[in-house]
Amino acid sequence: MISALKLRQDPSPHLSKLFSSEYPSAATFLVDTPTDVLPKKNRRYGVDDLDARVNEIANAIQRTAGKASLGDRICFIKENHFDVVVLAVAISRAGFVPIVVSDSASDDDFQALVAKSNPKLVLLGGRFDSYTDHQIQALSIERPFLSVQELTSLSDNEEITLRDPRMSVPQDSHTLMLVTHSSGTTGLPKLVCHSASSMRGATEVELSHFPFLQIGRKDTVVANISFFHSRAFCWTFAQLKWQPKLSCAVGSYDYTVMQEALRGLHPTIFESLPNVMARNLWILKKQPDLFSRIRVFLNTYDMMHPSIARDFMRATRNRAAIWLHSWGQSEIGPIAAGFYSRKRLLNRKRPLSDMNTMGWPWFGKIQIKIVDPNNPDRSVQKGQQGVAVVRSKSITTGYL
């Protein structure tokens, strides 16, 4: 018999242990469309299902990794969806460091990212599925490669799946564990490094108890985000701890896909990117009832325009609904957040209703000061411009 306390424990920050039976969870994940990595016979997966699938893929990776040694890097590129997280966990469980790259990167950027990361194996998916052999060879990635489809087919081989995966060796909490692809405000593609320690720091906010904002057992959570970003891994950790009724991942940013995904789902927590939410305004015009039960809206990565937030707030019938405006970066994790009630947002005369603030540092988790760019030891006065300096446990260990 598993105690309720054990069922709500924090999952291990080590990627290889994600979905592991060592950290039991009753969470259930739903993907809106079939994905490359997860079994296509179903779109709803319990943690045991994900654990078994991770083991199958980990075994297949060990078979195909060739001369790679424990701790070497394996890079993969594919389309955006929750199976990015699953594939990264499998690579980690096989004993390697996953490097996740979005297929939105141009061919030139992808070649540069592969060269910088120096992986022992490259897994190709996403738009590369439609490339001819000549186009693949023209990439000149100069490393062994395999298609994600070939890998998943190999993972269905019974001779391989019957063997136990070689679990990764115990790692120091500060060694390289995960490399994520990001561009952020610079527009320059970059590879951001995280250890188990920095990943734990990034999840501290979500694994802490915050009244009204914490995920509950009756919640249906929808995330339409970049699953190549460290945010997606933090989101997964949170689902495993709080175990909502359902955790739904939507990979596409097309509003027609979102409209279909929400049909009959009745979500209570909704997270997406500001520019994607702007596209989703079309859904509000046609079916505002799809958002009628939302109690928490969350926008991540960038600032939100209040006019868009107000339209979504009008769609929910929950008068106690909260808009959580979260600001963070790949290199830092969560930094600050602004909390807006439905009443405040819809009354334009109330203070802060224009959302023209970055919010407050996460309570007790993050420290921020604004300093003189020419003299970082000197703080600037209120009203003056400066550079934001952040102290946090979640800061990246570096770039590749």
Residue positions counted in the chain:
400
Q: What is the pLDDT of residue 158?
A: 62
Asked if residue 1 has pLDDT above 50, the reply is no
pLDDT score at 5: 44
Contacts 24+ apart (CB under 8 A), 377-380: none
Q: What is the mean pLDDT of residues 16-41?
A: 92
**pLDDT 10s digits, 70-101:** 889 999 999 999 999 999 999 999 999 999 99
CATH topology of domain 207-362: Rossmann fold (3.40.50)
301 phi and psi angles, rounded to 5 deg: 85, -50
Please, what is the average pLDDT of the chain? 89
Which pLDDT band, with edges at 50, 70 and 90, does 168 fall under?
low
**Domain residue ranges in the chain:** 46-196, 207-362
Q: Mean pLDDT, to the nearest integer, of 224-234? A: 93
Determine the average pLDDT of the residues in 38-62: 92
- Is residue 154 pLDDT above 90, yes or no? no
Tell me the CATH number for domain 46-196.
Answer: 3.40.50.12780
Domains 46-196 and 207-362 share a fold: yes
Rg (CA), the chain: 21
Q: How confident is the model at residue 102 (pLDDT cuts 50, 70, 90)?
A: very high
Look at residue 123 in the predicted model and tell me its pLDDT.
96
Range with the lowest mean pLDDT among 202-211, 263-272, 309-318?
A: 202-211
Q: 143: Cβ–Cβ under 8 A, 6 or more apart, which residues?
A: 114, 119, 120, 121, 122
Give the residue from 118, 117, 120 showing the smallest Cα distance to 64: 120
Kindly state the average pLDDT of the residues 311-320: 95
What is the pTM (predicted TM-score) of this model? 0.93
